[in-house]
Amino acid sequence: MSEKILEIRNLHVTFETPSGPLEAVRGVDLDVSAGELLGVVGESGSGKSVTFLATMGLLPTRAKVTGSVLLAGEQLIGASPKQMRSVRGRLLSMIFQDPLSALNPVHRIGNQIAEMLQSHQSLTNREAETRAVELLDIVGIPQPNDRSKQFPHEFSGGMRQRVVIAIAIANNPKVLIADEPTTALDVTVQAQILEVIERVQERFGTAVVLITHDLGVIARVADRVNVMYAGRNVEQGTIDSLFDHPSHPYTRGLLASLPRPGKQRLKPITGFPPNMLNPPKGCAFHTRCEFAAEICKLDLPELQTFGDLQTACVRAKELPRAEVLS
Ligand SMILES: Nc1ncnc2c1ncn2[C@@H]1O[C@H](COP(=O)(O)OP(=O)(O)OP(=O)(O)O)[C@@H](O)[C@H]1O
Ligand SMILES: [Mg+2]
């Protein structure tokens, strides 16, 4: 097992809202190893973005964050704003869920990359500009020298997303968090952007956390996957083990609803994600789970090792083998 670069332990995030406290993240444990591509999947509202915004120290101050986040051994929970500014962009970068608005419309592309470089490295303007052009080349922008002098509105959506990636990797971070980096793009451009992310991971040994609700994307590019439901990690493991024999009923449901060639019918998960202001007691999935028993309504299940997977389901061992591949 390679070195763990990011270790999240017992992370809780609670927002004070007009309707009362909303616990968006409810005890997440998650590891990212150096150089790996970890997929994080789960329905809308399951706490994917909040988990990593907390990791980046980017939540509003009214959010209460507890637990431990170690990045290369450095504790980020409770770190000062100054310490977090030094970490962000240098050790840890994030591509946000709405990346197309992440660029400043009135600044030239090359200057925006140079600014990120100079915020963490002592480079002259000339050096930063040269490096910015190299970065545009790395993310696949043609004629990077000319392009670096242009403004965001002169770039297509896919091109702008490449620029956002160039900014995120400018200082060669150890971990790159990509939050739904392809949702706003059409399918062919999505595939190209995923290729750029994979290329960065391979070329620079950057660990990547790819957040998505699309298990198909995860299957294509990730080494391991974490499945989130209602602010918890409900299953984690390698891609092969998760796709070959998912144990958690929620993961089974996700796989059964995945389109496959030759598959006759998709079987969506019934019901809706829970209201996080008042999540179900016990296992939050029990209200939608075809295997739920009385015990599931009582106890919050912890992750347990089950073959090659870790699964938070008290019934996982006794359930029939999933027939997701049929
Ligand atoms: N700033 C905030 N204030 C109050 N509640 C919030 C805030 N940000 C997120 N939440 C709530 O936290 C929960 C988790 O949200 P999060 O954005 O992490 O979901 P997600 O898994 O990223 O979903 P999506 O796939 O839609 O991006 C949701 O119930 C959401 O409404
Ligand atoms: Mg999100």
Amino acid 287: pLDDT: 95
- Spatial distance between the Cα atoms of 161 and 182, rounded to a whole number of angstroms: 8
DSSP 3-state assignment of 313? Answer: coil
Q: Which atom of ligand 1 is nearest to the CA of 46?
A: 21
CB contact at 8 A, 207 and 176: yes
Q: Which atom of ligand 1 is nearest to the CA of 213?
A: 25
Q: What is the CA(16)–ligand 1 centre distance, in A?
A: 13
Amino acid 200: pLDDT: 93
Q: Is 128 exposed, middle or buried (0-12, 13-18, 19+ CB in 10 A)?
A: buried
Amino acid 1: pLDDT: 52
Ligand 1 atom 18, closest CA: 47
Q: What is the CA(127)–ligand 2 centre distance, in A?
A: 36
Q: Which of 16, 22, 52, 62 to mutate to test the pocket of ligand 1 (most atoms within 8 A of CB)?
A: 22
Q: What is the CA(53)–ligand 2 centre distance, in A?
A: 10
Amino acid 299: pLDDT: 87
4-227: CATH number: 3.40.50.300
Q: Which of 41, 49, 55, 97 to mutate to test the pocket of ligand 1 (most atoms within 8 A of CB)?
A: 49
Q: Can you give the residue ranges of every domain in the chain?
A: 4-227, 230-318
Give helix then strand counts, H and E, for the chain: 10, 12
- Spatial distance between the Cα atoms of 42 and 284, rounded to a whole number of angstroms: 13
**Bridging pattern class, strands 224-229 and 74-75:** unpaired
CB contact at 8 A, 174 and 206: yes
Q: Is the CB of 42 under 6 A from ligand 1?
A: yes
Q: Could you please report the per-residue DSSP string of 93-131?
A: EEE-SSGGGSS-TTS-HHHHHHHHHHHHS---HHHHHHH
Alpha-helical (H) ranges within the chain are: 48-56, 81-87, 109-120, 125-138, 144-147, 157-169, 187-204, 215-221, 239-244, 249-256
DSSP 3-state assignment of 82? Answer: helix
Amino acid 185: pLDDT: 80
Q: Is the CB of 46 under 6 A from ligand 1?
A: yes
CB contact at 8 A, 174 and 5: yes
- Spatial distance between the Cα atoms of 168 and 122, rounded to a whole number of angstroms: 18
Residue with tokens 């706490």: 47
- Per-residue pLDDT reduced to its tens digit, 26-43: 999 999 999 999 999 999
Walking along the chain (326 residues) 10 residues at a time, the average pLDDT comes out as 89 96 96 96 94 96 96 95 94 83 92 96 97 96 97 92 94 95 83 92 96 90 96 96 92 85 73 92 95 93 90 89 58
- Spatial distance between the Cα atoms of 243 and 41, rounded to a whole number of angstroms: 13
Q: Which atom of ligand 1 is nearest to the CA of 25?
A: 14
Residue 117: partners with Cβ closer than 8 Å, 6 or more residues away: 123, 128, 131, 132, 170, 171
Q: What is the CA(107)–ligand 1 centre distance, in A?
A: 31
Amino acid 323: pLDDT: 61
Ligand 1 atom 17, closest CA: 49
Q: Which of 46, 58, 229 to mutate to test the pocket of ligand 1 (most atoms within 8 A of CB)?
A: 46
Q: What is the DSSP letter of 177?
A: E
Amino acid 318: pLDDT: 86
Regarding pTM above 0.75, the answer is yes
CA angle 223, 229, 234 (to 5 degrees): 55
